Structure 1
Amino acid sequence: MATLTFDELYRCIDKGAMRIEKQTDVTYLEAIAKVGEIIFQDRTGQVDETDEELLRILSQIDSESLERETVRKVFQMCVLKGMKGAVQPHHSMTPDAVSLFASYLINKVTSKQTSPVRVLDLAVGTGNLLTTILNHSPLNMEASGFEADETLLQIAYMNANLQKHQIDLFHQDSLQVALAPGELVVTDLPIGYYPKDEVASTYDLKAEEGHAYIHHLMIEQGIRSLHPGGYALYLVPNFLFESDQAESLHAYLKEHTTILALLQLPKTMFNEKQHGKSFLLVQKKSEKTIVPRHALLAELPSFDKKEALADMMKQINKWFEEELKL
């Protein structure tokens, strides 16, 4: 069976998901996960024979011949379609260009690693960010992710399986778990208040009054779960250091980490200014860490402007070489 192109695979999965959505009264997002499960388990021959159309659609897909990046991008497109009709405000996905830039930064900080690296995503969502990093890293990575939303986790599980990645996925709130230490944390942080005050009270970044911010608590949890010298890359709101609890966050980061970079994503990516995000790259303090003379602070150009982006990456590469010897 020939390897399907991006368009062919998308059409198959989209048609299959729409058919399942219509026949079983589930959401399109849930149907995507179901299609992925059927493909992975190679169960096309076990589909209800009365539904000959679904059988015909899915029988075109050979799971063994699928290419990782094609799978990831196709399911990303399907998920984006599903999220347009989703009513849950927390259903979102890290955009492709952002995930690819994250993998570039991760490859910079791990460029001298030779042994396997443990990478953790505290809010894995559909797995797009994590699998992008795995697909573009030359290293052997042991990955794990936490997600409280069952539908998103099902898609992440299917995504990992079809891309042939061994990822330990947990249907849990990552703030309530004691995590084994690793070398990397990468998370597109959820933003807002965390309602579980009892859990928040066990963190240094708990609020003095009212609820703590979930994005603050996840930053602390990520740093807790790093070996000394480990790196954390977070997607954070641009107002991170301007909120009413920002002073305690900055003090915590200064005590436990070296802030390496704060890179603001292009403004054109966001419809409204308050939704803008940045990459925050920190390293957990250790005796061997190199402290740069100055942090890398920049506003990234539009990812569509290739020349400007290439120039920015040259500047970033120079900073890593001169300041961190990477």
Structure 2
Amino acid sequence: MNSPVEHLFTVLNKTAEILQEELSCSYLDAIAETGENLFHETILQDEVSELTKKRLEKEYSLIKMDKFSNEEIRKAFQLLILKGMKNSAQPNHQMTPDTVGLFISYLITKLMEKKSNFTILDPAIGSGNLLTTILNQNSNKEITGFGVDIDDLLVKLAYVSANLQQHSIQLFNQDSLEQLFIEPVDMVVSDLPVGYYPNDIGAEKFELRAEKGHSYSHHLFIEQSMKQVKEGGYLLFLIPNSLFNSEQAVKLNQYIKDNSFIQGLIQLPISLFASESAAKSIFILQRKGATIIPPKQALLVDLPKFSNKVAMNDIIERINEWFKEEKSESSPV
């Protein structure tokens, strides 16, 4: 018997394929279309034939959305998007691995333990998978999410996915490094887009711009995020392990020191990534503020493979102990 995720994936995949053929659109566009149909409980595409409508209705009748948990919906949607992205060559279309999303969610649970409600921004939201993972793992809290992405298709997918999971996320389809019309948030989380920012004029307003040539977009994202978080607010970034090896690293280091306290650096298992050069770490910062105390010691961890349960349990115990010691003395956000 199929699992709920497989059952939902099968219906969404089949209806997406039907719409892809009928509308002559991409598979990713078709996922957004079929997701919209499910959310509105009607077929929204006027241009499809009566026969296609009947085929779609027959497929949709096989599922009841209220019978699925948010995590089941997210995972089925994630599988569809991964299938669609196999045909997409854009590196920033890559999704954050699930194990990493769950581990980041755990860290956020620990950081925001004393808060019953908070606001969170992902300035490179993509299809929304990382942010909805966090919201699902913190369902006992009242969280308002914000997401920004320049790619209109990814924003549409994030919108459909959030609707199906009934999450409160405000989405903005724009260049994340332009002015954001979002009030400062309690937390920023982002799998940083790594590369060069092509808009040299737009980069001029940033302290971390390059003196010559294109600036690093991931450096500018860190600065933009710092501006968007409240004093005492947290920033969790997925960063390339090579972040502090570039010729612009000295400037970045100084900026981070001037504006925040480093709370932790957690190196992810190399085995998660295609190559050692593609490996990433989780970087945790806290924006400075009048009442914010720096940690006695930053949390520095090399994670074992997630499949190594004994080693992972030891690490989790160590992390929990660190939070207990540090957070009992520091001010809440």
Can you give the 5+ residue segments of structure 1 that lack an aligned partner in the other structure? none
Letter in 2 for 1:172: Q
Aligned to 1:40: 39
Distance 1:299 1:201 in 2: 36
Question: Aligned partners of 1:42, 1:48: CA distance in 2, in Å?
Answer: 18
Identify the match of residue 309 of structure 1 among 292, 307, 312: 312
* Number of the residue aligned with 1:208: 211
In structure 1, what residue type is equivalent to 2:184? P
Secondary structure, counterpart of 2:307 in structure 1 = coil
Query: Are the aligned partners of 1:45 and 1:55 in contact in 2 as well (CA < 8 Å)?
Result: no
* Count of matched residue positions in the alignment of Structure 1 and Structure 2: 322
Alignment-derived partner of residue 172 in structure 1: 174
How far apart are residue 238 of structure 1 and its match? 0.6
Q: Could you say which residue in structure 2 is the equivalent of 1:161?
A: 163
Aligned to 2:328: 325
| Aligned residue in 1 for 2:108 | 106
Give the equivalent residue in structure 2 for 1:235. 238
- Scaled by the length of structure 2, the TM-score of the pair is 0.93
Q: Of 145, 150, 153, which aligns to 1:151? A: 153
Q: Does the Cα contact within 8 Å between 1:230 and 1:284 map onto a contact in 2?
A: yes
How far 1:53 moved relative to its partner? 2.4
Distance 1:106 1:220 in 2: 20
2:264 maps to a residue whose letter is A
Q: How do 1:85-96 and structure 2 match up within 5 A?
A: 85-96=87-98
Q: Secondary structure at the match of 2:323?
A: helix
Find runs of 4+ consecutive structure 1 residues off by over 6 angstroms.
none
Counting only pairs closer than 5 Å after superposition, residues 178-197 of structure 1 correspond to structure 2 as 178=180, 179-197=182-200
Counterparts of 1:45 and 1:270, CA distance in 2: 40
Q: 1:75 aligns with which of 77, 98, 106?
A: 77
What's the secondary structure of 2:189's corresponding residue? strand
Paired residue secondary structure (1:176): coil
Contact 1:185/1:231 (8 A) holds in 2: yes
Distance 1:89 1:98 in 2: 18
For residues 2-52 of structure 1, give each alpha carbon's deviation from its aligned partner in whole angstroms, at most 9, with x where no partner exists: xx8111111101111122222222111111111101100101498742113
Deviations 1:113-172 (A, max 9, x none): 13x211001000010110111111132111110011111111100000000011100111
- Residue 60 of structure 1 and its aligned partner are, at CA, apart by 2.0
Q: Which amino acid aligns with 2:38?
A: I
Shift of 1:295: 1.2
Range that drifts further, 53-62 or 232-241: 53-62
2: CA distance, partners of 1:270 / 1:64: 35
Amino acid at match of 1:8: H
Structure 2 unaligned blocks of 5 or more:
none
